[in-house]
Amino acid sequence: MTTLRTGHIGLNVTDLDRSLAFYRDVLGFVLVAEGKEDGRRYAFLGDGENLLLTLWQQADQAYDGARAGLHHLAFQADSVERVRQYEAALKAYGADFAYEGVVAHREGAASGGIFFHDPDGIRLEISVPSGAEGAPAPVESAPTCGFF
């Protein structure tokens, strides 16, 4: 039996132009293809080689974390220094952060990152599997990514 891996993620957004600017200009995704037909707008985003994210303009209200569905979308960076570069770009953009600075996934963990929201309030994470040693854990009793 074949092991499944994540192919790409599709997100519903309220304003494709605003979300495209965020994911492309702030997070650095590459626009692969775009649909511009009224009522059927979308953007395929990737890393230059692979399709990673699709934005679909078909939501009429912001993300609601209280409903069943996507909890958060996590991206992995290659170093904690790169996470901090993303943090600076997101701060310059005016993104809403759940915590201040790089935080550990749990108390004493080497993994950690930043937790923030996209223009529609979708919860996002950029983290590293190691390099966050010594970073604070916002909550002792639960994983950091679980309740932001």
Global pTM reads 0.93
Which residue stretches of 7-103 are H helix?
A: 16-21, 80-93
CA 34 to chain centre: 20
| pLDDT per position as a tens digit, 9-53 | 999 999 999 999 999 999 999 999 999 999 999 999 999 999 999
Q: Are 14 and 60 in contact (CB under 8 A)?
A: yes
- Distance (Å, whole) CA 133 – CA 30: 31
